[in-house]
Amino acid sequence: MRVSDFGLAEFQKRIEGKCGTLNYMAPEVIKCQQQSYSVDVWSFGCIVFEMLTGQYAFNDEDDGCLEKKICSGSYKMHDKIPISATTLISECLQKIPSQRPSTKTLFFHTWIVDTTEEAEKKRKMEDINKVLGKNALKSDTANQWKRNNKSAMKDSGKGESSDAGRKTTLRNKPKIDYKE
């Protein structure tokens, strides 16, 4: 995923005044109060909500009504959003900027970490499948295969390899002379 439209981005400056798309504006932007990085956290919460539901967290035909909804923090969480994502969104959409998590804290949020770990597992399984020439070796199938083979190895008395304690070193590699 790529997030774009950074035409209003500023490096380490505070901005005052309204700028941006109303549906993603934090309450302090609407009220023309001093802004900090917490407005980006608010917008991130709005984007995650929209990605998971296909709808804006805050929406109304009338801009005045939309501003009131945003400033009151009035939005409806959908049932189809996972619980960990629900907590992320609700933390990001706090009306008081100081109560929102920092961007650094967001990197370690359960929903982001779990999603990242699951994606990494999936990528590794795809790499293994490519090497083995298999179509789709599911992680559950791989885990079951490991369990079955581990117990079979123990039953046959071959649980440990004779090379288990041996260290691999580069000492025995042939020396290559690169001089011509």
Residue 127 lies in a domain: no
Residue 87 lies in a domain: yes
Higher pLDDT, 114 or 174: 114
Measured distance CA(155)–CA(44) in Å, rounded: 53
Higher pLDDT, 87 or 141: 87
Q: Is the pLDDT of residue 177 over 50?
A: yes
DSSP 59: -
User: Domain range for residue 96?
Assistant: 22-111
Q: Is the pLDDT of residue 1 over 50?
A: no
Measured distance CA(40)–CA(26) in Å, rounded: 8
Among 100, 83, 99, residue whose Cα is nearest residue 44: 100
Average pLDDT over residues 49-71: 93
Whether 5 has a binding-site annotation, put simply, is: yes
Residue 139 lies in a domain: no
Which pLDDT belongs to residue 159? Answer: 46
Q: Could you tell me the sign of the dihedral formed by the alpha carbons of 40, 41, 43, 44, in that order?
A: positive
Burial of 158 (0-12, 13-18, 19+ CB in 10 A): exposed
Read off the pLDDT of residues 138-153 as tens digits, 9 standing for 90 and up.
Answer: 555 556 656 666 655 5
Number of domains in the chain: 1
Whole-model pTM over 0.85: no
Helical axes 110-132 vs 139-156, angle rounded to 10°: 70
Residue 140 lies in a domain: no
Read off the pLDDT of residues 44-56 as tens digits, 9 standing for 90 and up.
Answer: 999 999 999 999 9
Q: How does residue 3 score in pLDDT terms, banded at 50, 70 and 90?
A: low
Please report, for the domain that includes residue 52, its CATH number. 1.10.510.10
